[in-house]
Amino acid sequence: MRFITMQALLGQKKNQTQKFLQDGRRIPVTEIIVMENAVVSLKTQEKDGYTAVQLGYGTKKHPTKALAGHSKGATLEKAPLFMREVKIIDMASEELPKPGEFLALGDIFKPGDIIAVTGISKGKGFAGGVKRYHFRGGPATHGQSDRHRAPGSIGSGTTPGRVYKGKRMAGKMGNETVTVKNLEVVGIDGETMLIKGVVPGVRKGLLVIKKIGEDKKFVPLLETIKKETVVEEEIATTAQV
């Protein structure tokens, strides 16, 4: 528990499922794999103008020479697959982890923590206004033949004589940085974190997980007994009889 002051780690989205709480509620759960994060480098106020920790996650099979050299500077045997900076506020320099050290999941998070998860949303390609912004479209009757999903008028006439920037129209949808706040950690099993709710991105997509608080009314997960264990206990009971 040395790096308890660090409030963020990198992980990868694994799967979405469902679990039950001890009070009987069924909740959506996202499984996130959070392997040990390597500390690649530090950014200091004196040298860089801000304080941050550069974290590395995973292993890159064929790193570039620049990335390999950057990793060797942190005495890492292998270059990380992903690297992200976590900005640090109100933390003394002696409390920061040193390059080459590793941060584990259990050192930062615990069940009941409130977190914010940042990832890259799924790309949807080029989408129309109905899918992208939930436009109603045109009327379905009275002679309409090809205007059911049309956006309608976009201009304002002679004045201003142009289309305003930011006008909601068809265009590329998704593949953007999205942050989902106020998610709750409901369980930790080794390197797997169980999150109540859904997070952005595809499976194996990189996620930045930041701790923002704690839930004082936290309800833990209902512990389930494996079917094999129940069968073994029944067999043992029958043999005794």
Give 178-220 pLDDT, tens digit per residue.
999 999 999 999 999 999 999 999 999 999 999 999 999 999 9
2 within some domain: no
Parent domain of 140? 124-173
pLDDT of the residue at 171: 96
With 0-12 CB in 10 A as exposed, 13-18 as middle and 19+ as buried, what is 116? Answer: middle
Residue pair 119/206 in contact (Cβ under 8 Å)? The answer is yes
In this structure, are 136 and 234 located in the same domain? no
In this structure, are 26 and 133 located in the same domain? no
Q: CA–CA separation, 132 vs 163, rounded Å?
A: 19
pTM: 0.83
In this structure, are 64 and 102 located in the same domain? yes
Which amino acid, 74?
A
In this structure, are 108 and 33 located in the same domain? yes
1 within some domain: no
Q: CA–CA separation, 36 vs 38, rounded Å?
A: 6
Lookup: tokens for 196: 């109540």
Give me the count of residues in the chain.
241
Percent of the chain with pLDDT over 70: 88
Q: CA–CA separation, 137 vs 148, rounded Å?
A: 5
Number of domains in the chain: 2
In this structure, are 226 and 142 located in the same domain? no
In this structure, are 56 and 144 located in the same domain? no
